[in-house]
Amino acid sequence: MTDPRIRKLADLLVNFSIKAQKGEKVLIQDNNLELDFVKAIVEAVHDAGALPFVALRDRSLDRALYRRASPEQMELQARFEADRMREMDCYIGFTSLRNQSAWSDMPADQLDLYNRTISKKVHMEVRLPDTRWVVLRYPSPAFAQLASMSEEAFEDWYFEVCTMDYAKMSRAMDPLVELMARTDDVHILGPGTDLSFSIKGLPPIKCDGSMNIPDGEVYTAPVRDSVNGVISYNAPAEHENFVYEGIRFEFKRGKIIGASSNDNERINRILDIDEGARYVGEFALGLNPHINRVMKESLFDEKIAGSLHFTPGNSYDDCFNGNRSSLHWDLVLVQTPEWGGGEIWFDGVLVRKDGLFTLPELEGLNPGSLT
């Protein structure tokens, strides 16, 4: 018998996140084979009167496929997957972590080729703008180990986080959305961070369970050329099977002119993948009260209550600042006291200090009000 928590999560994805309607086509993409969860989503799609389609993937198989693939093969694969995606109205994609280092020996030029073809042409150019989509991770022993938790404790925590009352969170986000919509100048301060930029004219977007699970952020984007100063991220960040720590960027007129980390050569190679990778496509505030630990998994870390992420690379179409890139790398700065604290100012007014909102109309977003 299927765990009722799995059925509840599947129902949330289909009926709240993508809001599947009768006759709509829904692509369910499973990375690393969690068949009970796929079946639960298929049943929920059928119950909604929509049409489920399934793509089963395996990370180790993909490694074998792409490690020696020619540019022509990658282009053909991208075209095949993009054509399928264009037929879809909705997309649900999830990964069950088996081995975070599954692609660790993928040649750098093959990773770049994959990002420029399949990732960019299927997901950046088709899925993001043309479907209602939601992505998530699924609990596994490897994921529990990454969180330094037992499998049982991690599953309990996971389902609590992922099936929280997103409607309540959504209502509490409204005053922040209204404030950001009328904000021009943003100033971020903290240990190793003194960053200024404008968000004028760029709409704030609520992430309240409709695109990510777990969710809990409000994002916008900086005016592309307005970013100046330095930011020092304190959350480790995994990318292409390497964990980066101590990432620091220096900006001048929007562009990253200096980048350092625990591997300067690697991080600069990432930022040199294309012109847009050295500009920022997203600025967001993390708001999920149940997420209070760094897990080296961006879908969770970027939602940490009291955090922000400032993302080099591609800008989303619903808040487009003109930046296009095959990169979209959500890098997280946690500003709670145990992580060194910090401040966020909007138009000269202190909005958040040490991870807690200071304005009365935003106090409903502080963890004690949402749990």
User: What's the confidence (pLDDT) of residue 33?
Assistant: 83
Q: Check pLDDT > 90 for residue 358.
A: yes
Do 211 and 320 fall into the same domain? yes
Looking at per-residue pLDDT, the higher value among 182 and 292 belongs to: 182
Do 80 and 177 fall into the same domain? no
Do 11 and 153 fall into the same domain? yes
Give the chain's mean pLDDT.
94
Distance (Å, rounded) from C-alpha 353 to C-alpha 344? 7
**pTM value surpassing 0.95:** no
Interaxial angle between packed helices 35-47 and 4-12, expressed in degrees from 0 to 180 and rounded to the nearest 10? 50
Do 49 and 146 fall into the same domain? yes
Q: Are strands 332-334 and 237-239 parallel, antiparallel or unpaired?
A: unpaired
Do 198 and 332 fall into the same domain? yes
Do 170 and 157 fall into the same domain? no
Name the domain count of the chain. 2
| Structural domain range at position 186 | 166-370
Instruction: Sort residue 14 into left (φ over 0), alpha (ψ -120 to 50) or beta.
Output: alpha
Distance (Å, rounded) from C-alpha 206 to C-alpha 284? 10
User: What's the confidence (pLDDT) of residue 1?
Assistant: 61
H or E stretch covering 245: none
User: What's the confidence (pLDDT) of residue 251?
Assistant: 98
Summarised one tens digit per residue, pLDDT across range 246-275 is 999 999 999 999 999 999 999 999 999 999
Do 172 and 149 fall into the same domain? no
Distance (Å, rounded) from C-alpha 219 to C-alpha 26? 26
User: What's the confidence (pLDDT) of residue 212?
Assistant: 86
Total residue length of the chain: 371
Q: What is the CATH number of the domain that holds 154?
A: 3.40.1830.10
H or E stretch covering 71: helix 71-86
Query: Which of 282, 280, 135 shows the shortest CA–CA distance to 204?
Result: 282
Q: Above pLDDT 90, what percent of the chain?
A: 79
Among 162, 193, 227, identify where a domain stops. Answer: 162
Among 132, 162, 192, identify where a domain stops. Answer: 162
**Are 276 and 327 a contacting pair, CB within 8 Å?**
yes
Do 188 and 136 fall into the same domain? no
Do 236 and 337 fall into the same domain? yes
Distance between first and last Cα of the chain: 30
Q: Are strands 212-213 and 132-138 parallel, antiparallel or unpaired?
A: parallel
Summarised one tens digit per residue, pLDDT across range 290-308 is 898 888 888 899 999 999 9
Distance (Å, rounded) from C-alpha 287 to C-alpha 101? 29
- Six-digit token pair at 131? 């479907």
Do 241 and 116 fall into the same domain? no
Q: Are strands 25-31 and 90-96 parallel, antiparallel or unpaired?
A: parallel
Do 71 and 195 fall into the same domain? no
Distance (Å, rounded) from C-alpha 203 to C-alpha 72? 39
Among 162, 193, 218, identify where a domain stops. Answer: 162
Summarised one tens digit per residue, pLDDT across range 46-69 is 999 999 999 999 988 999 999 999
Do 146 and 175 fall into the same domain? no
Residue 354 β-bridge partners: none
Cis peptide before 214 (omega within 30 of 0): yes
CB neighbourhood size of 286 (10 A): 26
User: What's the confidence (pLDDT) of residue 258?
Assistant: 98
Instruction: Determine the residue type at 251.
Output: F
User: What's the confidence (pLDDT) of residue 97?
Assistant: 85
**Are 87 and 126 a contacting pair, CB within 8 Å?**
no
H or E stretch covering 85: helix 71-86
Query: Which of 91, 84, 77 shows the shortest CA–CA distance to 119?
Result: 77
Distance (Å, rounded) from C-alpha 335 to C-alpha 204? 21
Q: Check pLDDT > 90 for residue 41.
A: yes
CB neighbourhood size of 320 (10 A): 16
Residue 186 vs residues 16, 164, 222, 358: alpha-carbon distances, Å: 32, 30, 9, 15
Residue 8 vs residues 159, 162, 163, 176, 200: alpha-carbon distances, Å: 9, 10, 8, 29, 39
Taking the CA atoms of residue 110, residue 111, residue 112 and residue 118 in that order, the dihedral angle to the nearest 10 degrees is 100
